[in-house]
Amino acid sequence: MSRVLLCILSVNPTNLTLERTLDAIRHVESSAGKDSQDGDRGRAIGDYQIWRSYWTDGTLFLGVRWPYSDARDPAKARQVVRAYVLHYQRAGGYPATAETWARIHNGGPQGPRKAGTLPYWTRIRKAMR
């Protein structure tokens, strides 16, 4: 007699929200990769418009040594953005929300505390609908 073991994978809603947030950030920053020209006078590159200091932190948190030019690679950039926003969300004691991650991406480690990141969050929230 054989037994079949069924594994039911639970989907973590926080992970889904994070992935949707990353999609929205890419959409807002580069029209989902359709317009990924350098921004902020050449200081932000790739689909996620990543600055060098952001890349340095994110790759450190990931434990990789990727050159800054790899910020133009959407798959690597997404990994770096994920590592960056999660690290600073946890380090800052912020809630694990789309708003927190978007505002960290836009305003750095203190982004959720900066009023200047609220308009960016509005754009991300709209893109997530």
Which residue of the set 29, 47, 57, 99 is catalytic?
29
CATH architecture of residue range(s) 13-29+42-128:
Orthogonal Bundle (1.10)
Query: Shortest CA distance to 75 belongs to which of 46, 53, 109, 104?
Result: 46
Q: What pLDDT was estimated at residue 11? A: 56
Which residue of the set 19, 23, 35, 40 is catalytic?
40
Per DSSP bridges, beta strands 44-45 and 50-51 are: antiparallel
Q: What pLDDT was estimated at residue 36? A: 66
Is residue 70 among the annotated active site residues? no
Nearest 5°: CA angle at 24, between 23 and 27? 90
Residue 25's contacts (CB-CB under 8 Å, 6 or more residues apart) are: 48, 81, 101, 102, 105, 124
- Does this model's pTM top 0.85? yes
Q: What pLDDT was estimated at residue 5? A: 43
Q: What pLDDT was estimated at residue 32? A: 73
Low-confidence ranges of the chain (pLDDT < 50): 1-2, 4-9
Is residue 29 among the annotated active site residues? yes
Q: What pLDDT was estimated at residue 125? A: 98
Q: Rounded distance, CA 91 to CA 85, Å?
A: 10
Q: What pLDDT was estimated at residue 38? A: 77
Query: Shortest CA distance to 36 belongs to which of 77, 65, 86?
Result: 77
Give the start-to-end residue ranges of the domains of the chain.
13-29+42-128
Q: What pLDDT was estimated at residue 31? A: 87
